[in-house]
Amino acid sequence: MPIVVGHDTAKTRKTLEVNGKSFAYYSIPAAEEAGLGDFSKLPAALKVVLENMLRFEDDKTVSVEDIKAFAEWAQKGGKNPREIAYRPARVLMQDFTGVPAVVDLAAMRDGITALGGDAQKINPLNPVDLVIDHSVMIDEFGNPRAFQMNVDREYERNLERYTFLKWGQKAFNNFRVVPPGTGICHQVNLEYLSQTVWSDTDQNGDEVAYPDTLVGTDSHTTMVNGAAVLGWGVGGIEAEAAMLGQPISMLIPEVIGFELTGRMVEGTTGTDLVLKVVEMLRAKGVVSKFVEFYGDGLDNLPLADRATIANMAPEYGATCGFFPIDQETLRYLENTGRDKDRIALVEAYAKANGFWRDASYAPVYTDTLSLDMGTIVPAISGPKRPQDYIALDVAATEFGKYVEGQRSANDASNRAEGRWEGEGGQPEPTDIPGDEGYHKRGFVQTDDGHYQLHDGSIVIASITSCTNTSNPYVMIGAGLVARKARELGLTRKPWVKTSLAPGSQVVSEYLEAADLQDDLDAIGFNLVGYGCTTCIGNSGPLEPTISKCINDNDLIGVSVLSGNRNFEGRISPDVRANYLASPPLVVAYSLIGDMNVDITTASLGKDKNGNDVYLKDIWPSAKEISDLVEKTVTREAFQSKYADVFKGDEKWQSVETTDKETYDWPASSTYVQNPPYFKNMPKDPGAIADIDGARVLAVLGDMITTDHISPAGSFKDTTPAGKYLLDRQVPQREFNSYGSRRGNHEVMMRGTFANIRIRNEMLDGVEGGYTKGPDGEQTSIYDAAMAFMDQGTPLVIFGGEQYGAGSSRDWAAKGTALLGVKAVIAESFERIHRSNLIGMGVLPFEFTGGDTRSSLGITGEESVSIKGLADVTPLQEVTAQITYADGTTKDVTLRCRIDTAVEKEYVENGGVLHYVLRDLAKS
């Protein structure tokens, strides 16, 4: 379908000749010549947005004043928060977030029919690619059968979902599905789907060149910014609006310049670099801002490392972390098999339109910070936040401090007095090196004896996630560590569950070409599947004896993974401390199996001759790695593996579905149900309703992530979601995960605020999804919400700083709305979750004047009223009246985080999809 651009005037539309072919494009230098302003000092990331304004100037959502505002941005030192309407070129989805998005589209077809409209109006206007990557679980590991057995189990669990997605592929235009077993969406996007500069025919039949841009339903969509493709994560509901042609309402962002100088030193990796970047930018504070990387250090930074840094933008809180187009961008496009004419277009366009980075690149930034890459040291992050940076040589010491902090006062007392009630009630001294106190411990019986587990035993070591498995330097490095360890006779400790889940089939291609997969297999890092696996919580069960030992003895088990997320309760229900590390370090940690030990100095084991082996003995040199990368990571490998990317294997091809334009919702399905959002929806919107006498559902602390609000992993039969499935004759072994059941609102409502580690401050020392019901007794959050709903009582949530950090999952907002929550009142919000709340009609409010839930003495016994909301304006301060349990009241000033006029319309409609649906029905 031709792209539709806003105008065809001679003012900014120019022609570019590349390899004998003509392209129209919207020229920023021409806009300057036309008197629209001086844009020469804009960062490249903002020039991408400016080009978008030029291209759509005359479509009624973009004005000349919007364009001029970018020149004013530079004049004002990098600040001009004007509301603009931005139109990304395409949308990227994965199956966890994609299934509910397709469910919403199917429900919208039903909804528009009910309003008297045409079902065919519900079709993506922008291209959509959905990559199935979140569903494979690591049930089998450490053997040659692991990959095929996990694939077979994946189809058994998810056939109903895959049938639905295949229906969507047939039913909707502009919608493609990349089948299971291909790779992780961000890596497939980086290696194949993205083009850096796109081209397509417009409504006049002309070929138009323009920057490749996108939004994605996964927060790590930002990874592709490493290849100068502007993209970021949004909630599924916002992505659905974008694919249906609705522009994204946003403020012109501030852009923080991050200068990189020097070069990485021997023994360090791109992972070590990104963990330091995350720490620095979290401390800086970059929420809702762009970060652009610049400086002469980029000349020494491969695009794979850039993509790693860009990937973790959600972890440092930015909207995106952008790298401008330069010679390295072209080299990467060449090596990954892009068309030669495309690469020539990228270079010509970037140089003609002011996007090219060279030695003279010196834009204006809102603020800057700098890092000499020569100062980077090996590091990990954890045990529960990506920004908790730890230099590797103090990791054991820091873990000891974490354990001490986790233990109860009774345990601390026992430690201080030199006693611990272990086996038989007798105190047992520790034999854990470097620990001066006592650790909790237990013993696992095996056929050939037993081994001890204790606080700090590493029970999961996983090479996983798009963040690092897209980077051949660290993947080849991991293979070389495995090779050297194997040659010396070392292997993983028997209690460590090891796994290798590459982000694309290309990784397997070059590991096999380098003859490193055999070495990884020998250590226990067999291929388990192509998908997110451990990073998304699909680590699979531990061996039953290990799980029992951990839980019976209340041990602090540890995971080490090459991922981007290590939030509480995410990786495994049996693991309480999670550390992010480079793939080579993941292999090394599997050999030592203990977080209490200083891996930089301790022996990893004995070689065949009984000699101690140290980390330095198995760590490859930078030259060893780069030589193998140069030899095995080839253009031909990428072209071969992506030749039939949408075809899939025989299993995918055998999935059958219907050709109907509307979906036949199976009444008995526990995976896919018609959501209630559009049922009995009136044709016209209403005013925003006041909040009157709302009760408190939960009082939550700082850094409440979307994992806390809407977990993705497994759940037990005692939870509300588990009971719902048991009532429908689904046995526990078939529960799958919350993430896989996001197409069923009944499961997801019951899973909202159900993370096993969430702590509601209304209850003392209680972990998990609990609160107080209308009768004041402790109950599940779901049951309490339903009881309040039956009484017609609205609900509010109180939170701390960075509320809604982490993943872009829209169910964190959908579940909140379906529980009857009308407002969330917090100290600050992360960007995506705030937008998602708006998209579901839930009002976000921020405290002002230093007020917090703590300073106000909020216990959950209060009621809250907020009046005058029908006339509220963007970012207006409003008064909330809090009525305490004793009848006293206090007026508190809150800032309404409806940020733009369009967002107010969304809330008035009940959400962004309701807004779009009414608009399409009227047209």
Rounded to the nearest angstrom, the gap between the alpha carbon of residue 896 and the centroid of all alpha carbons in its chain is 26
How are strands ordered across the β-sheet holding 207-211?
13-18, 21-26, 207-211, 197-201
Q: Is 720 exposed, middle or buried (0-12, 13-18, 19+ CB in 10 A)?
A: buried
Q: Please report, rounded to a whole number, the percentage of residues in the chain having pLDDT higher than 90.
A: 72
In a domain, 657, yes or no: no
State the Cα–Cα distance between residues 221 and 219, nearest whole angstrom: 5
User: Does residue 157 sit in the same domain as residue 263?
Assistant: yes
Among 602, 619, 645, the domain boundary falls at 602
Count of CB atoms situated within 10 Å of the CB of 322: 29
SS3 assignment, position 50: helix
Sorting pLDDT into bands at 50, 70 and 90, what band is 417?
A: very low
Residue 218, CA distances (Å) to 131, 232, 804 in order: 11, 8, 14
One-letter amino acid of 614: Y
User: Does residue 279 sit in the same domain as residue 156?
Assistant: yes
Q: Do 161 and 136 touch, CB atoms closer than 8 A? A: no
SS3 assignment, position 671: coil
Task: Look up residue 190 and give its DSSP letter.
Answer: I
Q: What is the mean pLDDT of residues 439-447?
A: 78
User: Does residue 54 sit in the same domain as residue 161?
Assistant: no
One-letter amino acid of 530: Y
Query: What is the phi-psi region of residue 174: left when phi exceeds 0, alpha when psi lies from -120 to 50, beta otherwise?
Result: left
pLDDT for 231 equals: 97
Q: Do 234 and 242 touch, CB atoms closer than 8 A? A: yes
Please tell me the number of Cα atoms within 13 Å of 314 on its side-chain side: 31
In a domain, 301, yes or no: yes
SS3 assignment, position 252: coil
Look-up of token digits 């872009």: 808
In a domain, 628, yes or no: no
Q: Between the CA atoms of 857, 862, 863 and 866, what dihedral angle is there, to the nearest 10 degrees? A: 0
Q: Output the six-digit token pair for 134.
A: 């979140």
- Sorted by sequence, the CB contacts under 8 Å of residue 399 that are 6+ apart come out as 383, 456, 558, 577, 595, 596
Sorting pLDDT into bands at 50, 70 and 90, what band is 6?
A: low
Q: Between the CA atoms of 754, 757, 758 and 761, what dihedral angle is there, to the nearest 10 degrees? A: 130
pLDDT of 831 above 90: no
One-letter amino acid of 836: N
Q: Do 18 and 228 touch, CB atoms closer than 8 A? A: no
User: Does residue 705 sit in the same domain as residue 715?
Assistant: no
Sorting pLDDT into bands at 50, 70 and 90, what band is 9?
A: low
Q: Is 784 exposed, middle or buried (0-12, 13-18, 19+ CB in 10 A)?
A: buried
User: Does residue 440 sit in the same domain as residue 293?
Assistant: no
User: Does residue 697 sit in the same domain as residue 737?
Assistant: no
In a domain, 536, yes or no: yes
State the Cα–Cα distance between residues 841 and 836, nearest whole angstrom: 9
User: 905-910 — which CB contacts under 8 Å span 24+ positions?
Assistant: 905/685, 906/838, 906/839, 906/841, 907/688, 907/838, 907/841, 907/843, 908/685, 908/686, 908/687, 908/688, 909/685, 909/841, 910/677, 910/681, 910/685, 910/841
Sorting pLDDT into bands at 50, 70 and 90, what band is 525?
A: very high
State the Cα–Cα distance between residues 846 and 824, nearest whole angstrom: 8
Among the listed residues 485, 462, 488, 479, the one whose alpha carbon sits nearest the alpha carbon of residue 517: 479
Among 26, 53, 86, the domain boundary falls at 86
Q: What is the mean pLDDT of residues 416-438?
A: 40
- With both helix axes pointing from N to C terminus, report the angle between 831-839 and 912-922 in degrees, rounded to the nearest 10: 50
In a domain, 647, yes or no: no
State the Cα–Cα distance between residues 126 and 838, nearest whole angstrom: 23
Q: Do 313 and 225 touch, CB atoms closer than 8 A? A: yes
User: Does residue 209 sit in the same domain as residue 273?
Assistant: yes
Q: Do 106 and 124 touch, CB atoms closer than 8 A? A: no
For the chain, the domain total comes to 5
State the Cα–Cα distance between residues 685 and 327, nearest whole angstrom: 51
Q: What is the mean pLDDT of residues 516-532?
A: 92
Q: Is 498 exposed, middle or buried (0-12, 13-18, 19+ CB in 10 A)?
A: buried
Q: Between the CA atoms of 504, 507, 508 and 511, what dihedral angle is there, to the nearest 10 degrees? A: -170
pLDDT for 2 equals: 54
In a domain, 684, yes or no: no
pLDDT of 425 above 50: no
pLDDT for 41 equals: 96
User: Does residue 219 sit in the same domain as residue 169?
Assistant: yes
∠ CA 697-809-661 to the nearest 5 degrees?
Answer: 115
Q: State the sign of the Cα–Cα–Cα–Cα dihedral 502, 504, 505, 511.
A: negative
DSSP calls for 270-315: HHHHHHHHHHHHHHH--TT-EEEEESGGGGG--HHHHHHHHHTHHH
pLDDT for 285 equals: 94
Q: Do 224 and 191 touch, CB atoms closer than 8 A? A: no
Beta strands in 115-194 (DSSP E): 128-131, 175-178
State the Cα–Cα distance between residues 334 and 790, nearest whole angstrom: 61
In a domain, 874, yes or no: yes
User: Does residue 207 sit in the same domain as residue 77?
Assistant: no
pLDDT in tens, 559-590: 999 988 787 878 888 999 999 999 999 999 99
- Which residues form the domain of 745? 711-751
User: Does residue 887 sit in the same domain as residue 788?
Assistant: yes
In a domain, 652, yes or no: no
Among the listed residues 416, 377, 406, the one whose alpha carbon sits nearest the alpha carbon of residue 275: 377
pLDDT in tens, 449-497: 788 999 999 999 999 888 888 899 999 999 999 999 999 999 999 999 9
Mean residue pLDDT across the chain? 91
State the Cα–Cα distance between residues 429 and 425, nearest whole angstrom: 13
Q: Do 804 and 821 touch, CB atoms closer than 8 A? A: no
Q: Output the six-digit token pair for 275.
A: 């963990």
pLDDT of 412 above 50: no
User: Does residue 82 sit in the same domain as residue 95?
Assistant: no
Q: Output the six-digit token pair for 389.
A: 């940076």
Question: Where is pLDDT greater, at 18 or 203?
Answer: 18
First and final CA of the chain: distance in angstroms? Answer: 20
**Buried b / exposed e along 771-782 (16+ C-beta atoms within 10 A):** bbbeeeeebbbb
User: Does residue 361 sit in the same domain as residue 444?
Assistant: no
Helical segments of 620-665, H only: 622-632, 635-641, 650-653
Q: Between the CA atoms of 754, 760, 762 and 765, what dihedral angle is there, to the nearest 10 degrees? A: 110
Q: What is the CATH number of the domain that holds 321?
A: 3.30.499.10
Q: State the sign of the Cα–Cα–Cα–Cα dihedral 106, 743, 248, 873.
A: positive
Question: Where is pLDDT greater, at 907 or 8?
Answer: 907
Sorting pLDDT into bands at 50, 70 and 90, what band is 419?
A: very low
Could you check whether the bond before residue 378 is cis, i.e. omega within 30 degrees of 0?
no
Q: What is the mean pLDDT of residues 868-893?
A: 97
Q: Do 44 and 292 touch, CB atoms closer than 8 A? A: yes
* Backbone phi and psi for residue 657, each to the nearest 5 degrees, phi listed first: -150, 180
pLDDT in tens, 710-727: 998 889 999 999 999 999
Among the listed residues 348, 311, 18, 308, the one whose alpha carbon sits nearest the alpha carbon of residue 196: 348
Among 579, 602, 625, the domain boundary falls at 602
